[in-house]
Chain A
């Protein structure tokens, strides 16, 4: 292309409620978009994991097999497998189409807070309240993890996996980044229990939210603080934070029933909209579009841009 790219139009944050879905699975502990954003997963407190088409509000499949609350889930890059974890200390690998349990990984000593596939879905990485992060092999049949990272001094609340890194946030107030390519562990202290961590899309920054009601944007390489975002309320629960689809904003759940978005660069509050009276338990931003999923109590809401509506009406 000889011409320079046109200046990107100003990103519009999702603020229009497009759909509310009653998941009928107790409290929704987590809601996650799949890899291309066409489907989503909800983790219920009634031990079930459900696969949805959030745009039409239909449930595609329900996955049962957990012995207790499901706390987190992730989809593989090719949408053929799911992994989930829960209070039953187990990590489960599912077959999407058949709904069958492919593998059940046991080994954590406490409830498992977070789980992610690696890029090729060959490893499942799970973080637990037993303060360990375990890497499970999905290719071989061996029951024990490939590696256990037990550097955390307290429960691991959140984790993200990139091409070569594993990012974990722990209740001991540290954000740890295991870089496999370099072979080093970078541990950044944030001063308050970390509830959620996230990589930016360009992979240069880390976002951590902690129980002092603050989001921190940390430079990945130096550990320097690039931004601090406050205004929401997060002092009790494990709430999610996220980047927007083009890294222009950062967002977070809040305990006052709202979702907050800040401008990433300026740090100013860009948008806050109310979802309900309860605690916004989880949120997930569409990987490529300005769409947002939020979970409050038993419901999941889909939010889009103001112009989105026509397409969505059935």
Chain B
């Protein structure tokens, strides 16, 4: 399927190997190792710049010390040494000759075979020399005498039957010639109806015998002279020869007798010059001394010398003889006819064989008939106020025009501009410094000093309370308004808010015991300490000066609490049913999910498509706010993942293959591609867990399987004997749900969660102001403490089933995100529900048993995390923990901390929690 464009190129030989960039580059040869070679490849020595250069001495020369061959002494009676005359060239070698520009003596073409172009050059030079000669016209004689030479080419042509004036090439029949004429025609304007030419042709054919052939027309070969100057295209400088020797006249002759000139040139005769007048002549110079003639002053030419018809300038294609690519393609004639109307194709271009597919073009929308491309302002109501407004507008417009003359808009400030557009002034004071009283200004200095102190105080949280309590007192003392109404930090817990307000009011009264008296005496010491700190901080942060500033801001309608996370509203559900549908080949509605999907605005723009949802700011699927910590957000798929049940189980229990443990993770998420054999059984770890649990519960309920505890898990290859015992009892699904609902506070698997918690703990430390749930959270650490201790204790004993699911562990971290579930009814941390601890314990024990091995990276990461956590732990417990962790590190089960989740609360903490329950809603 060779396109003609492809055929225009010819490739010879085998292509060179491509240089690959991976290969190391060759090192440059150091100077001392570089060698100079002469033309024959002999290495030359350098003897020093002043002692002979490269070619002195014995080694590189003819063999003498001097560097040249001495003339040999020849003496005999008959043959005296002839006196030798040396030319400088005799002492030169080839290099020297080349250096001095002495032309090499070589074989050259004789005149017979030389091309005419050389002749032309010579003749030009001759003409010039004629001018320069003392007696102009001295060479005329030479010209006359010179033998007329006929080049060998012409001779040959003649022998082949060529006659002067004919073109070169095979003889053609008339019709063909005709056709070619047509092909080469340049037509301007409308295309002629093709019938005409045919007709005339037929007429012509009428009285022309069939077997007569004609020689092709003579043509001028195109002169491809490269442009090597900087003149404009087509420019040629004044030619002294022509300018002086009546060149203008000559030019005219050239114009119209190109053909004859050419042929005569071909023949080698110098017709042009023989007839030339000598001496200064030409119109510009008037009549010279040597000229008798006076005619042709104005150089008039008869119109008959010009063409009266456009086109038809020359029968035959003027490009003939030049091998433009399209000339020789097969379908040329038709093809050229096709495009004849469009003018000739540019040189060097060809028409593509295959046209590019045309792109669809959408018409612009049709405008309604009564559409005017002028924007009309909406008509103002005709009431008095409306009139007022419009007149105001008019005047303001006028003013603006005036203003525009005087000062451009760039010179106006914000206030001026605001006045112009009649925007209401902002509420509150216009400048920050207006807000400051003198006292406050004084205080700025203090604050500066205090800032340094604060840094110190942050590191010593115990100090802060007393210091800031006094400060808070100072700040609130002289405030009389009730700004408290605008700011309610503990809105979510009414009791607490009430206490806080009480505290603030006491502060206003200037009572130094405000804090202590406003706290609830029934609370535990620890809680009171917490609250004390919170109140002081809140009071400091939202002190009155801030509240005046706050008049500039409006309260957000939705408080953005970090508890919530956006999750995709719709999700592809019911994998189970779909699987069935696929098996039954019931594609269509059963297997299809359709969601609203918002493409990015820019994407639409790039695709040249109108935005389907021009008013929405959503990108992607529509999302819904959900509790961050509800695992039910992410539970959906696994509930339906029954079909993969068995596989996942077997994998779960038997994944001991060494290769899995050893292969490092290449990407964050595993894909089926990586383990091509096991596409189907790869599931998210969580889902595995749940499916596992589900299956267990199901099997228990149904009793369909003979050995409810074992068979589902029994692997095909090998099972560690302890496994059965460990997995003996599986609770029902409800249990798991319950557990998962609370899984947020046992900072289960995912990285994100644990990170979040870390953050929160950090927050707890630094500030506990705005978050109403902070109370709950601040209890978490201690909860965790106990949990961790527990888990660690447990792990001090070597666990037996550690080997079960290392694969699982990696997936736990890196598995793909799971879709959310059930919009309502999610049980989350913030709701503060407490689940039966026994259940939790059970689950956690189990989880512990499944605690995965980690590869080193993760281990390290875990360790880091561990250390972080240790910071939050009380010192007394720290010791124990460290003991435990060190031992657990030594055993292989250091992954335990992920599941810090694991384990039971100590009774202490339980008590505390129960106590704190009423404070939560």
A22 close to chain B: CB less than 8 A: no
Kindly report which residue of chain A lies nearest to residue B360, judged by CB atoms: A163
Is the pair B672, A155 in contact by a Cβ cutoff of 8 Å?
Answer: yes
A288 close to chain B: CB less than 8 A: yes
Is the pair A289, B592 in contact by a Cβ cutoff of 8 Å?
Answer: no
- Min C-beta distance of A1 to chain B, whole Å: 17
Is the pair B816, A131 in contact by a Cβ cutoff of 8 Å?
Answer: yes
Is the pair B6, A53 in contact by a Cβ cutoff of 8 Å?
Answer: yes
Is the pair A183, B596 in contact by a Cβ cutoff of 8 Å?
Answer: yes
A122→B609 CA distance, assembly (Å)? 13
A122→B607 CA distance, assembly (Å)? 8
A174 close to chain B: CB less than 8 A: yes
A259 close to chain B: CB less than 8 A: no
Residues from chain A with Cβ under 8 Å of B619 in the complex: 147
A197 close to chain B: CB less than 8 A: no
Within 8 A of B (CB), among A138-167: 139, 146-155, 157, 163-164
Binds A, one of B186-194, B534-542, B673-681, B840-848: B673-681
Is the pair A222, B588 in contact by a Cβ cutoff of 8 Å?
Answer: yes
Binds B, one of A2-10, A56-64, A243-251, A261-269: A56-64
Complex interface bits, A31-64 against B, C-beta within 8 A gives 1, otherwise 0? 0000010100000000010000101101100101
A164→B610 CA distance, assembly (Å)? 10
Complex interface bits, A161-189 against B, C-beta within 8 A gives 1, otherwise 0? 00110000001001000111111111111
Kindly report which residue of chain B lies nearest to residue A122, judged by CB atoms: B606
Is the pair B816, A36 in contact by a Cβ cutoff of 8 Å?
Answer: no
Residues from chain B with Cβ under 8 Å of A120 in the complex: 606-608
Is the pair B354, A36 in contact by a Cβ cutoff of 8 Å?
Answer: yes
Kindly report which residue of chain A lies nearest to residue B18, judged by CB atoms: A62
Is the pair A189, B816 in contact by a Cβ cutoff of 8 Å?
Answer: no
A64→B19 CA distance, assembly (Å)? 11
Within 8 A of A (CB), among B561-607: 568, 572, 575, 578-579, 581-583, 585, 587-589, 591-600, 602-604, 606-607
- Min C-beta distance of A11 to chain B, whole Å: 16
A215 close to chain B: CB less than 8 A: no
Contact of A38 with B3 at beta-carbon distance under 8 Å, contacts A58-B15, A181-B612 already known: yes
Residues from chain B with Cβ under 8 Å of A123 in the complex: 603, 606-607
Complex interface bits, B523-558 against A, C-beta within 8 A gives 1, otherwise 0? 000000000000000000000000000000000000
Is the pair B602, A146 in contact by a Cβ cutoff of 8 Å?
Answer: yes
- Min C-beta distance of A66 to chain B, whole Å: 11
A174→B816 CA distance, assembly (Å)? 15
Q: Which of B20, B607, B671, B816 contacts A64 (CB 8 A)?
A: B20
Q: Is the interface of B mostly helix, strand, loop or mixed?
A: loop
Contact of A237 with B676 at beta-carbon distance under 8 Å, contacts A58-B15, A188-B587, A223-B587 already known: yes
Complex interface bits, B811-826 against A, C-beta within 8 A gives 1, otherwise 0? 0000011110000000
Contact of A56 with B11 at beta-carbon distance under 8 Å, contacts A139-B606, A189-B572 already known: yes
Complex interface bits, A78-94 against B, C-beta within 8 A gives 1, otherwise 0? 00000000000000000
Residues from chain B with Cβ under 8 Å of A312 in the complex: 1-2
Q: Which of A111, A179, A222 contacts B667 (CB 8 A)?
A: A111
Q: Which of B1, B595, B677 contacts A291 (CB 8 A)?
A: B1
B37 close to chain A: CB less than 8 A: no
Is the pair B1, A191 in contact by a Cβ cutoff of 8 Å?
Answer: no
A186→B356 CA distance, assembly (Å)? 32
Is the pair B613, A185 in contact by a Cβ cutoff of 8 Å?
Answer: no
A312→B612 CA distance, assembly (Å)? 49
B21 close to chain A: CB less than 8 A: yes
A129 close to chain B: CB less than 8 A: yes
A130→B582 CA distance, assembly (Å)? 26
Residues from chain B with Cβ under 8 Å of A178 in the complex: 597, 599
Residues from chain B with Cβ under 8 Å of A288 in the complex: 354
- Min C-beta distance of A184 to chain B, whole Å: 5
- Min C-beta distance of A245 to chain B, whole Å: 12
Residues from chain B with Cβ under 8 Å of A193 in the complex: 672, 679
Q: Which of B22, B603, B621, B668 contacts A130 (CB 8 A)?
A: B668
- Min C-beta distance of A51 to chain B, whole Å: 12
- Min C-beta distance of B686 to chain A, whole Å: 13
Residues from chain B with Cβ under 8 Å of A48 in the complex: 20
- Min C-beta distance of A105 to chain B, whole Å: 14
Is the pair B612, A223 in contact by a Cβ cutoff of 8 Å?
Answer: no
Residues from chain A with Cβ under 8 Å of B356 in the complex: 36
Q: Which of B6, B578, B620 contacts A189 (CB 8 A)?
A: B578
Residues from chain A with Cβ under 8 Å of B676 in the complex: 235-237
A291→B575 CA distance, assembly (Å)? 40
Is the pair B609, A181 in contact by a Cβ cutoff of 8 Å?
Answer: yes
Is the pair A129, B667 in contact by a Cβ cutoff of 8 Å?
Answer: yes
Is the pair B671, A154 in contact by a Cβ cutoff of 8 Å?
Answer: yes
Q: Which of B11, B607, B667 contacts A118 (CB 8 A)?
A: B607
Kindly report which residue of chain A lies nearest to residue B578, judged by CB atoms: A189
Kindly report which residue of chain B lies nearest to residue A288, judged by CB atoms: B354
Residues from chain B with Cβ under 8 Å of A154 in the complex: 669, 671-672, 816
B637 close to chain A: CB less than 8 A: yes
Is the pair A155, B673 in contact by a Cβ cutoff of 8 Å?
Answer: yes
Is the pair A184, B606 in contact by a Cβ cutoff of 8 Å?
Answer: no
A12 close to chain B: CB less than 8 A: no
A193→B360 CA distance, assembly (Å)? 35
Residues from chain B with Cβ under 8 Å of A218 in the complex: 587
A109→B669 CA distance, assembly (Å)? 8
With a 10 A CB-CB cut-off, give which of A48, A174, A183, A186 has the most chain B CB atoms: A183
- Min C-beta distance of A210 to chain B, whole Å: 10
Is the pair A59, B18 in contact by a Cβ cutoff of 8 Å?
Answer: yes
A149→B578 CA distance, assembly (Å)? 22
With a 10 A CB-CB cut-off, give which of A48, A130, A180, A190 has the most chain B CB atoms: A180
Complex interface bits, A266-291 against B, C-beta within 8 A gives 1, otherwise 0? 00000000000000000000001101
Residues from chain A with Cβ under 8 Å of B1 in the complex: 55, 289, 291, 304, 308, 311-312
A163→B606 CA distance, assembly (Å)? 11
Q: Which of A180, A189, A238 contacts B673 (CB 8 A)?
A: A238
Q: Which of B22, B588, B595, B613 contacts A223 (CB 8 A)?
A: B588
Contact of A186 with B671 at beta-carbon distance under 8 Å, contacts A64-B21, A223-B587, A225-B585 already known: no
Is the pair A211, B585 in contact by a Cβ cutoff of 8 Å?
Answer: no
A155→B814 CA distance, assembly (Å)? 13
Is the pair A223, B591 in contact by a Cβ cutoff of 8 Å?
Answer: yes
Contact of A184 with B594 at beta-carbon distance under 8 Å, contacts A36-B356, A291-B1 already known: yes
Is the pair A147, B600 in contact by a Cβ cutoff of 8 Å?
Answer: yes
Residues from chain B with Cβ under 8 Å of A95 in the complex: none
- Min C-beta distance of B664 to chain A, whole Å: 14
- Min C-beta distance of A286 to chain B, whole Å: 9
Is the pair B2, A55 in contact by a Cβ cutoff of 8 Å?
Answer: yes
A110 close to chain B: CB less than 8 A: yes
A242 close to chain B: CB less than 8 A: no
In order of increasing CB-CB distance, the 9 nearest A-B pairs are: A183-B612, A110-B667, A191-B582, A225-B587, A223-B592, A185-B597, A155-B671, A147-B600, A224-B588
Residues in A lying within 8 Å of B, measured CB to CB: 36, 38, 48, 53, 55-56, 58-59, 62, 64, 109-111, 118-120, 122-123, 129-131, 135, 137, 139, 146-155, 157, 163-164, 171, 174, 178-193, 211, 216, 218, 222-225, 228, 235-238, 288-289, 291, 304, 308, 311-312
Residues in B lying within 8 Å of A, measured CB to CB: 1-3, 6, 11, 15, 18, 20-22, 354, 356, 360, 568, 572, 575, 578-579, 581-583, 585, 587-589, 591-600, 602-604, 606-610, 612-613, 619-621, 637, 666-669, 671-673, 676-677, 679, 816-819
A-B contact pairs, 15 of them (CB 8 A): A36-B354, A48-B20, A110-B671, A120-B607, A129-B671, A131-B816, A147-B602, A151-B621, A153-B817, A155-B669, A155-B673, A183-B612, A184-B595, A191-B578, A311-B1
Given contacts A109-B668, A146-B603, 9 further A-B contacts (CB under 8 A): A64-B20, A130-B668, A151-B568, A153-B817, A155-B669, A178-B599, A189-B572, A288-B354, A304-B1
